[in-house]
Structure 1
Amino acid sequence: MLYQLLRPLLFKLDPEEAHWVAFRALNQIQQLGLLKKPAVNCKSRTVMGLNFPNPVGLAAGLDKNGECIDALASLGFGFVEIGTVTPRPQPGNPRPRIFRIPEANAIINRLGFNNLGIDYLLNNIKNANYRGILGINLGKNFDTPLENATDDYLIGLRKAYLYASYITINISSPNTQNLRQLQGANVLDQLLHRLKLEQNKLAQMHGKYVPLVIKIAPDLNDEAITSIAHLLLKHQIDGVIATNTTISRTGVEQLRVSKESGGLSGAPLTQQANKVLKQLHTVLSNAIPIIGVGGIMSSKDAQDKIDFGADLIQLYTGLIYHGPDFVRDIVKAICSGSLPGHLG
């Protein structure tokens, strides 16, 4: 209720400034002990060998540097994913780089992996009190040549390994030049091979197995989705996130900022992300868990992801438009099975 009163004021600010205002407020409220995790009864589920208290997570991108872990976890998420983080700090793309489309419950962003580097993120993890399931999302630096991208991911994997419950490899952001080419069959085959070798080496070294997850784009054709699914199976990757933001402008073509470059998230992404999810589920046949993300703007959208084959789901843009109570509402709806006409 409070967020609905404050949202008009936040939406008058530049989106990036509003983000930092909200983060500072959330951190302060949490530090004062005023942010109480909502009590929702939910049957825990084991996915990728990890025990999730509920299936609703925070998607990467909102807390790139791990600066708000405790406060965000207090909203009721079953797991939190931070990043995307790169080996070296980088400023990202020039501002303005986030554009709201309220008429469509959507956002376009072209942030470009702006972050303070993995060492800064890991220090924030060490200082956080959160002991729940934490995903760390890894990217490559913008100035690392594509042929050397694997080296950046390996640096991140080695550094993040002991601090992550699972690690996500982001090869699907539209805002780092040529990054999505890593989804091509031959390049992806080599990337997954080297990552899996390193994961196994780190598991032996540390006596701890940390699942490896790949995040893919919603703009892939059927052949590419099937090819990726087969490579995930071949290399025994532990999970897949479907999907990232889209370069499509379907549903917002006539709206004011639709010509801005970047990835589109929110309601216009729902059908496209679900199409990828359903095809992955068909090809993978439950052999690899799927985390469904993209266009969850209501409890029904969330349940649809589960019904279409997602083992877990993640929120981002819905949180921006609906506020902190959105997390509780989604968890409650999924865990109570209160949506008529959906599978339990």
Structure 2
Amino acid sequence: MIKEAIDCIDAGTEYCPCKLAESGDCLLCSQLQGECFCDCLNWKGVCIYQELFNNGNKAKEGRKSYTCAVKEITNFNKEVVMIKFEAPHKLALDLVKPGSYIFVRTNENAYFDIPISIMESNIETNIITILIEIRGVKTKNVLNIKEEDNIVIRGPYWNGVFGIKNILAQKGGKSLVLARGIGVAPMMPVIRKLIAQENDVNVVIDRTPFKDNFASNLLEEYSIKSKDYNLLEAGKLSDYCKVIIKDALKEGVKFIHIAGADILTYNVIEYLDNLNRQDVLLSCCNNFKMCCGEGVCGACTARFSGHRVKRFCKEQSDPRSIFEGRRFI
């Protein structure tokens, strides 16, 4: 049984209290959940109940939409599109953090907004880089965007990565990053943070199902040479991946970031448990479906034992906790 600390990614920020607090569904505040006493689940230095009262019992103003100029577009065989656009400086600063993402508007209808992780946010040039995989009705519209066009984005959002506390705790150590497919995009802010905290970072990339390594140029800027291996075979960890993890643990790695689908994260956790290495800290991509980004629509919710419902667009969690007690039906 994992002792779980509940945390809200927006608590204590300019976007708190939010609509959940207004409706009595705050993730942290017991009084806003209908209790008669104060028992804050995770104190963030700000009383959410008092903040709501001071704001006239209304939620703070939500995220804004910004019209940004597209500076560069790279099309990888109409499978993946890399877009670089210029954003306001404040937004560029907010999107530097690991787990940052935005909603990109691809149609006048707001229902066509797509959540996209930030690959890089350059606070000197205010240029933000995103990587979009072309999959369906919404993302196909991205192919129509041209250089010097304007795109509308909404943000900032920050819960694109689970285990952020574990990332921030890494200082002067050794870290392993396992990335697969489009996961190379959200891994870059994590790598940037690890390097800023003087960590020795080893990166292994599984390009499946693509041919290109979309992060090669950014990795070169950090003087990192990635290794190419298949991390999954028939839905299980490949022998290569197991050897990589074992060797990393022998070299003193105590933190692993998993940038890929849930199946990769689940298998890495299972393998570490088999090695009895629960001491290894983890972070991973948030792969829950996002729609509103505010915990209101329910698209990101998952049900767990004990009739618990978690809103994963806001609730920050340890990677091990998102699978323990989770109901898959």
TM-score (norm 2): 0.32
Decide which structure has the larger Cα Rg and report it: 2
Structure richer in strand, relative to its length: 2
**TM-score normalised according to structure 1 size:** 0.31
The structure with more helix, counted as a fraction of residues: 1
